Structure 1
Amino acid sequence: MKRIFALTLSVALMNVGLMADDVDLKDTYLDPATAPIDYQIQGEYEGTAGPDSLKFGVQVIALGDGKFRLISYGDGLPSADVSHKNIKTEIDGELQGDAAVFANDLFNVEISNGELKVSTAADGILRGTLSKVQRESDTLGAKPPADALVLFDGSSAGAFENGKLQGDLLAANCFSKEKFGDHTLHLEFRTPFKPKARGQARGNSGVYMQSRYELQVLDSFGLAGKNNECGGIYQIAEPNVNMCFPPLQWQTYDIDFTAARYDDQGNKTKNARATIRHNGVVIHDDLELPHGTPGRHPEGPEPDALYLQGHGNPVVYRNIWVVKK
């Protein structure tokens, strides 16, 4: 049952929005209370199914106008243990009343009131129930150590050039006034809910280490985990696992960065490196950064700023602190 469910729940449907669409702001939501019912159905589900009560994880992406995509994973949700890059399966569904329904030749799935129920198509027998879960990074709310430089604690955007507050949150599109060489960085970010947007139009921003190397910020919940999606180093490396949570949930990046080295003549002798945790899970382990990424400052021997990319999306940040090495 596990293999059938995980591998044949649907015909694989690729390309969940690899092209950016222009979407009116009326379809952008910053508060779950104002979002349509689609937001309540979207999210992560875990539980058991089949006669052997085998564990499954499911991610449900809202696509707007009552349309959804369901991604099923054997052995549970993406995590530090399993990336699921090669074993996920997908199926489309839609709202019928207050429930989202999905079906193929083998299974029927219905989601309502925080429960996902799986039954066999042939006889309608219930095979399992999964419950909605909301995972949280184990570094969420991490306190700065005594030797940390606090860049943003919600009280002022004064540590950033072009820094702008949205309530007690920091809007994207700003540079830190302080410049950094080797350092560790903690920050928390939240993408908007844009169900009708696709790809790079869906909550786009980026964390530029030294304003040179972009760690992508994007609503990539349930996607493949490419280098231009959340957790990717743009044009350099895909994350080991796509740990992106659903939009409007707070997420964390914890970065251990070692700057590139240069000789006295300004020639690079060693590439920059980074170990990065996304929502507490290592997605890049001592990754070599052979070149800078487009859009900001060229590589060089001098320290440089943290840049939080503005890309026309209402992405916000909080709890930003750095420890210089």
Structure 2
Amino acid sequence: MTRLFSLLSLFVFTFISIATQAQQRVAYTSVAEAGPDYLVQGEYRGGARLSGILRSSSGLQVVARGEGKFVANLIPGGLAGQGGRLDEVVTLEGATVDGVTTLKSEDFTVTIAGGSATVANQAGKKVGKLRHIVRESVTMGMPAPTEAVVLFDGENTDNLVEAKVTEDGLLMEGVLTKELVKDFRLHLEFRTPFMPNSLGQARGNSGVYIQRRYEVQVLDSFGLEGVHNECGGIYRQKPPELNMAFPPLVWQTYDIQFRAARFNEAGEKTESAQLTVYHNGVAIHTNYELTNKTGAGQPEGPAAMPILLQNHSDPVRFRNVWLVHLDEQQAESAGKLRQR
């Protein structure tokens, strides 16, 4: 009887724990509903004396971890893609108390209030100040050329299968293109939700599945290391050259060029597929030869296949999605151009 009671108690405790965790999993899709932690989270840029005697360009990435807690990266040289020396990052952590966020490392203390971050050294002396910024990709809003197939422009979904659109005109995750693709270039804009209580693959997960075979990961990877299963990674094959992820709820861009694998008449692969990806205007993969399908992708083959914007149960949103089919000569020329 005692053993039965213990087992029942364990079951009830586990059930309550799971229910509590489920209640804590939140996904905000607008700044208006995101709460005060979101106003602290984000990118900061300015000048700080992190070493030596002179102030120099510095960046700060602040990542919300829920309930007023944060981790951060203090980056000499600036932000990712703007001169930041990511191999010299100083990691901090802390929390918000009475409207002021304090983050600490062994050598520095960063105090955030009113959109400004003040950096102090071990002795408490101010050595820098940075301001909150919101970056925009250089390819944001890129118009579709005349030869493009417009997949989504905010209204028309004729070129998509089972597309769902939000009231404010954004494409929801979990949609296939009617277009079957081989060689092409693709532009799309995406926005991950703010999920401060979630971590890793549970935080703003989606993906661009090229030919339903090869996935370029979409994830809220802001402030993370940048590995193969994070934003910009070729899933389970290759990490991005640089983690260019912007904070959640900030629009981002992928500009992708793809050359399909080649097969002979016997169905044997003679050339691997090639992939070039620009994330927020910065090259993160250049003419990478895909070794095989990624993860749960469809098997490789000569047939043209659609593009899937993956549904991983998180409210990732898309807009301004278009592609241009390339003939073999165009695909070859584009690859050679990028190698120069």
* Structure 1 length-normalised TM: 0.90
Distance change in 2, residues 1:271/1:96 (3 Å): same
Q: Which amino acid aligns with 1:280?
A: G
Does structure 2 conserve the Cα–Cα contact (< 8 Å) formed by 1:204 and 1:311?
yes
Higher relative CO (Cα under 8 Å, sequence separation at least 6) belongs to 1
Equivalent position to 2:76, from 74, 77, 91: 74
**Do the aligned partners of 1:180 and 1:324 also contact (CA within 8 Å) in 2?**
yes
| 1:18 matched residue in structure 2 | none
- Secondary structure of the 1:269 match is strand
8 A Cα contact 2:182 2:259, kept in partner: yes
Q: Does the CA-based 8 Å contact 1:23-1:197 persist in structure 2?
A: no
Secondary structure of 1:69's partner?
A: strand
Q: 1:175 to 1:22 in 2, by over 3 A?
A: farther
Structure 1, 233-242 or 26-35: larger mean CA deviation: 26-35
Alignment match, 1:133:
133
1:181 aligns with 2:198: no
Change (3 A) 1:182 1:125: same
Which stretch of structure 1 is more off in the superposition, 22-31 or 105-114? Answer: 22-31
User: Residues 25 and 197 of structure 2 are in contact (CA less than 8 Å); yes or no, is this contact kept in structure 1?
Assistant: no
> What is the aligned partner in structure 2 of residue 150 from structure 1?
150
Q: How far apart are 1:161 and its partner, in Å?
A: 1.4
Structure 2 distance, partners of 1:221, 1:55, is 20
Code of the residue aligned with 1:66 in structure 2: it is G
- Which residue identity is paired with 1:33? A
- Which aligned pairs between 1:224-263 and structure 2 lie closer than 5 A? 224-263=225-264
Indicate the residue corresponding to 1:161 in structure 2: 161
Preserved contact between residue 72 and residue 89 of structure 1 (Cα < 8 Å): yes
State the Cα deviation string for residues 132-155 of structure 1 (Å, max 9, x = none).
111110000000011100010010
Cα distance in 2, alignment partners of residues 189 and 74 from structure 1: 28
Given that 1:99 and 1:112 are in contact with CA atoms closer than 8 Å, whether structure 2 keeps it comes out as yes
C-alpha spacing 1:287/1:104, structure 2 compared with 1 (3 Å): closer
Shift of residue 166 of structure 1?
Answer: 1.2
Question: Quick one: distance in 2 between partners of 1:82 and 1:56?
Answer: 7
The answer for the alignment partner of 1:286 in structure 2 is 287
State the distance in 2 between where 1:105 and 1:201 align: 30
2:93–2:105 contact (8 Å) kept in structure 1: no
1:15 aligned residue: none
Which residue of structure 2 aligns with residue 29 of structure 1?
28
Aligned residue type for 1:49? A
Describe the superposition over 1:3-53 as per-residue Cα deviations: whole angstroms up to 9, x where unpaired. xxxxxxxxxxxxxxxxxx964476221111111110000000111112411
1:1-325 matched pairs, under 5 angstroms: 23-24=22-23, 27-50=26-49, 51-79=53-81, 84=86, 86-122=87-123, 124-167=124-167, 168-325=169-326
Q: What one-letter code is carried by the residue in structure 1 that aligns with 2:157?
A: A
CA distance in 2, matches of 1:148, 1:309: 22
Q: CA deviation at 1:105?
A: 4.5
Cα distance in 1 for partners of 2:131, 2:79 equals 12
Equivalent-residue separation in structure 1 for 2:84 and 2:308 (angstroms): 31
Which amino acid in the other structure matches residue 323 of structure 2? Answer: V
Question: Alpha-carbon deviation of 1:162?
Answer: 1.9
- Evaluate the alpha carbon distance shift between residue 111 and residue 80 of structure 1 in structure 2; reply closer, same or farther with a 3 A threshold: closer
Match of 1:16 in 2: none
**Counterparts of 2:150 and 2:274, CA distance in 1:** 23
Pair 1:212–1:48, CA change in 2 (3 A): same
Partners of 2:43 and 2:135 in 1: CA distance: 8
> CA contact under 8 A between 1:22 and 1:201: conserved in structure 2?
no
Check 1:256–1:95 CA distance in 2 against 1; reply closer, same or farther (3 A cut): same
Aligned length: 303
Instruction: Point out the structure with max Rg over C-alpha.
Output: 2
> Secondary structure, in 3 states, of the residue corresponding to 1:38?
helix
CA apart distance, 1:156: 2.6
- 1:128 deviates by 1.1
Once the two structures are aligned, what percentage of the paired residues are identical? 44
Structure 2 counterpart of 1:158, one-letter code: D
Greater percentage in strand: 1
Q: Which runs of 5+ in 2 are unaligned?
A: 1-19, 327-340
Give the alignment's Cα RMSD to 1 decimal.
Answer: 1.6
| Structure 1 residue 89, shift from structure 2 partner | 2.3
In 1, Cα distance between the equivalents of 2:93 and 2:316?
27
CA–CA separation in structure 2 for the residues paired with 1:219 and 1:25: 17
CA separation of 1:250/1:23 partners in 2, compared to 1, >3 Å: closer, same or farther? farther
Deviations 1:264-314 (A, max 9, x none): 111110000011000000000111101001223211101110100000000
